[in-house]
Structure 1
Amino acid sequence: MKELILSKETMSSVEIAELTGKEHYNVIRDIRTLLEQGVAALNFEASTYKDANQRDRPCFNLTKKGCLILASGYDAKLREKIIDRWEVLEIEKQKAILSIPNFNNPAEAARAWADQYENNQVLARNNAQKDMLLTEQAPKVLFADAVVASENSILIGRLANVLKQNGIEIGQNRLFKWLRDNGYLCKCGEKYNQPTQTAMELELFEVSYGSIVRADKSINTITTKVTGKGQIYFINKFLKK
């Protein structure tokens, strides 16, 4: 595996793919989804790398905060790998600081120990910020784990229950109204409560067709369901409100 670029303290999306075992294009997709959702772009620097055929391919260089934001959407094991990797490299960096070339020079030794103390303080603050970030993102993390565990689409009523579990007070009827008012579901006509064209292009919903028999008469039914991608999209949208 390639090493982190310690001078800039970033990790490339290629390295994250290698670390987590995910396909690189999937990591790129996840980062672009985060950027579309409005996360700070300064934590995700667009770049390129050379593939096996020496062709330029797109990638991103992520700050530590960017890595933690991205990891919040992955399952617990993958998050742990990314966090552990940062911790290992921070320890290695501290060990490098301890390599003082000349202990016989008191002034040089004093300056080196002062630098070490300052870096230890920075490391402590960074770890505190990491813990705070993970705590703030806990509802989203729990939700993302649930979606990763099951890729099945769910009914809109079930999404309302998931939102409630994440501290968002909204019922099924209010959620339907919100989806209509915000352009995700059609407001009237034969397609009432069915996904709009835009929502379908974003792959937020899927539609299933069926039929029921009543009084010897068959009635066609259309059911709108929220995809796994849609579940992540809407929970993130509500958490930011």
Structure 2
Amino acid sequence: MEDSSKRMPVQIGNSLTMSSREIAELTEKEHKNVKRDIEKMLSDLGGNALKFERIYRDSRNREQTEYHLDRDHTETLILGYSAELRLRVVRRLRELEGEAAKPRFDLNDPSSLRALLLDNVNKVIELQGEVEEMREGVEALDRIAESHGTFNRTVAAKNLGVSPNVLIRWMRTNGWTYRRPGTSDDLAYQSKIASGCLEHKITTGPRPDGTEWSSTQVRVTAKGLTILAKAFPKPMEPA
């Protein structure tokens, strides 16, 4: 089956290009030989072949390389070919220029008009999604705009509009906190401490027997509260 992609006019910036595969087809040469000619030409001109290289998939879905040449390089390449082959390529270049100059949508064609409308609708839907995402982020920031310092999880939950139990369970199941076996205190994952989302507050005091007890409390920073506010965009009822 013929690969139509090599016949599509391609523009890079303002420059129309022709692929090495199509040049090979027009000149009835093997693609590998056309690529070799292009590489030699670019080397002679002091150019970088990688600048013109593109990836395509062949009929077996394998990645292969081709070159896309602008008009100047295409005409320079075919100067070494016969007059008949040069004429074929020049005519095809004119066809490509004509295709590129055509309007993308014909407003007199119902199918083109439908395609244009569908394209615009899809863009509007995509834009609405971006606006909604931005709105949620702004609301999240507004909810903690006056926040300073760090907060225990009860106060953080109040700021978020959720119950402390909901927030504590969410943090345990989403990689924010964990509990070591045999202990009663939750601990913050080091990654959350390093990112500035959580901190530890350690409290100590004496026991009647003269030993000292210590307790570790997870504290949520303003940065952590900002991120959590996006995870809880609307107040949630206690589970």
TM-score, with structure 2 as normaliser: 0.37
Higher helix fraction (1 or 2): 1
